[in-house]
Structure 1
């Protein structure tokens, strides 16, 4: 006669239940990916049949986005030439002689003082495309300096002035400066306005990421972490603040209102008290207009293109034809939209783009303003789900998830993970009891 082992049936049931729960979690997650991919809209394929030339600065890919950076020229939808072999490239400008000026960051340098070798250096390069030659694009000159860390210390933008100087942004020391023949000729330090830490090189303090020339000796500067744009005049310092805010009694160190701008990139001065901005962490493109009281308000906002919400857009240029060229970084695409938000052209990029310029004009000072003063216009709607949106950005920058992977997929992933862990725990307890 067979004897029964007390609890054996219960332990086996627990193991089976645990295994089924874990399997259900895996199936749920895989199913969400399959459905998401199947229902994803067609992105990066729009065209009106017109051939365009677009210069792209590619941040790169991989964890932290600092791998496989490049500069390339799109002729229509084909890459005409490409310069790579660099950790990251950022803002790009086509010079009148056909060469390209680009902010960059790269590692492996041995000239590192005051830091240890090898190190990362950042600055700008002049690239000769040599289009059609066997040699391909060549770096013909470089201005760079060592940084403490490759993260949040880069030179993101450089402009060439009529004087022959180069105007440079610098996150390492949080300043803008001009350089000529390798020597700094002028600088504005953010510590003149903002309360500085003891050592700006040890923290991502302000993240100054863009500078544009408005007029002679007047520059529009993006102070990302303060959610502000400031106009700096040589010899005067800050003469105007866009999104000044009142956070600290109106003191110079107060941050701007993050509902107006939140960690923005690459503003463009349109003129007549209007500026176009990639409002990056609000996932939208905005036009800000100065009212009669001197305050800046959102007059036009665009949250989406091709049926897909923007995801960390970092550049927006108002083109001579009146359209807007948007670099939608984490969705890995460049889109051209008209005033109504309709997409007339788009391109899916191989890596995460930082900035794009439509040739031959490039980014200009001045342009058509969509805002007509008759009230704000909003196209699309934003998405900001507490916790889930933050986790989504972490996954996108670390794992390069596809554009259709959204907050719902993050929620399903968390539920699936809970099922797998819960099932594994149940099965293990059942086995131990058996």
Structure 2
């Protein structure tokens, strides 16, 4: 009998040791994974350069903020910065996009609201998009901005269906982009007077409203009958002439897949016609700003580019304006900043935004047709102080998803995605060890 009791006690002791050992291993694995992730985040935050601190308080800037939250469709706003202070703000839409200060002092802005009615041909509720004319308060007057005019229409969904850009042609005449129907159109006193549909040039799916087909996101007036249009998903810019259609393609399809060369442009935004065969473009998915120049053979090539400012690589920049002083104003969307650089790439002024900005215009002139070109100048060699592993398969895609979902700090890179995945795996593995050793 004593021998039996000793054996039973020994068995329980061995089982207890295994239990403690299994639990300990699980806890250690969890703590190691979390510690690696935490250390990577703390270190990156500690060594990250300051952004949004370059100072010159005399500058006035109007900003269209797409917002935040999942898909960047919450808390959209339009606001004016005097220096780096918000002079006024209108936050009454899910998202705002391109903004333009008009000669009479009002502000023209593309916008979108979800969960609205009536919906016309679409199921309720639907999204509604269009543009607004906003009357800001007078300088020094404590009043809220008001919407004085609006043109809008229902779209199937609030994702990839919005009016991202609008330009005024006359007192009540506007030209705008419509990525739901993939068209550009002119509306005069609420009546459509001219339209160009992309399916006259590109091969269309059966129903463009059910797919993010071309994502036409910008239109600029070159002259009274010619427009510069950004066809984002085709990696192309096209010049459209009323009565003629597309008369020139920037970044032509050379491969036969209906798209331009993504090493030249990749899902770009907000081109600016500088004149003399030169265009300034936010080359968004290549995370850079470029100048494209038309060569003697009528092919367009990159003649100047910049990939970072303030020691921080651009992350999905969506606007670049060449200013009258020769500098360039850049909206660096996923880094949540607006930065003005000179031709040497030095930050002259910058601002860290609360939510993700879509576009910014420097007042009083705003974005103009024509401007100083950097073509034939040397490409700016920028030094990024933050570690980055851009274009890493899987990790870069995950990073974009995280950035558009929860808006991480600018110093959060693929490295942190990797350590975060490692921490998640460690938690799962450690938890399994703890449970199975019960």
For residues 247-277 of structure 1, the C-alpha deviation after alignment (integer angstroms, 9 at most, x for no partner) is: 21xxxx6100001100000000011111000
For residues 306-365 of structure 1, the C-alpha deviation after alignment (integer angstroms, 9 at most, x for no partner) is: 000000000000000000000000100000001111101000011100000000110000
Helix, strand or coil at the partner of 1:19: helix
Paired position in structure 2 for 1:358: 362
> What are structure 2's unaligned runs of at least 5 residues?
none
Q: TM-score, normalised by structure 2?
A: 0.94
TM alignment of 1:165-314, pairs within 5 A: 165-248=173-256, 254-314=258-318
- Tell me, in whole angstroms, the C-alpha distance in 2 between the residues paired with 1:400 and 1:103: 22
Paired position in structure 2 for 1:45: 53
For residues 149-197 of structure 1, the C-alpha deviation after alignment (integer angstroms, 9 at most, x for no partner) is: 0000000000011475200100010000000111100000000000011
- Structure showing greater radius of gyration is 2
Find out whether 1:150 has 2:158 as its counterpart: yes
Q: How many residues align?
A: 425
Helix, strand or coil at the partner of 2:11: coil
Paired position in structure 1 for 2:27: 19
Q: Return closer, same or farther for 1:224/1:171 CA change in 2, 3 Å cut-off.
A: same
How far residue 85 of structure 1 moved from its aligned partner, in angstroms, is 1.9
Q: Return closer, same or farther for 1:195/1:268 CA change in 2, 3 Å cut-off.
A: same
Conserved? CA contact 2:163–2:176, under 8 Å:
yes
Find out whether 1:397 has 2:422 as its counterpart: no
Find out whether 1:116 has 2:123 as its counterpart: yes
- Tell me, in whole angstroms, the C-alpha distance in 1 between the residues paired with 2:325 and 2:211: 41
- Tell me, in whole angstroms, the C-alpha distance in 2 between the residues paired with 1:419 and 1:143: 53
Conserved? CA contact 1:174–1:206, under 8 Å:
yes
Q: Return closer, same or farther for 1:376/1:51 CA change in 2, 3 Å cut-off.
A: closer
Conserved? CA contact 1:298–1:376, under 8 Å:
no
Conserved? CA contact 1:299–1:377, under 8 Å:
no
Paired position in structure 1 for 2:375: 371
TM alignment of 1:53-68, pairs within 5 A: 53-68=60-75
Conserved? CA contact 2:344–2:380, under 8 Å:
no
- Tell me, in whole angstroms, the C-alpha distance in 2 between the residues paired with 1:129 and 1:116: 35
Q: TM-score, normalised by structure 1?
A: 0.95
TM alignment of 1:72-91, pairs within 5 A: 72-91=79-98
> What are structure 1's unaligned runs of at least 5 residues?
none
Paired position in structure 2 for 1:5: 11
Q: Return closer, same or farther for 1:289/1:376 CA change in 2, 3 Å cut-off.
A: farther
How far residue 130 of structure 1 moved from its aligned partner, in angstroms, is 2.2
Conserved? CA contact 2:232–2:268, under 8 Å:
yes
Helix, strand or coil at the partner of 1:300: strand
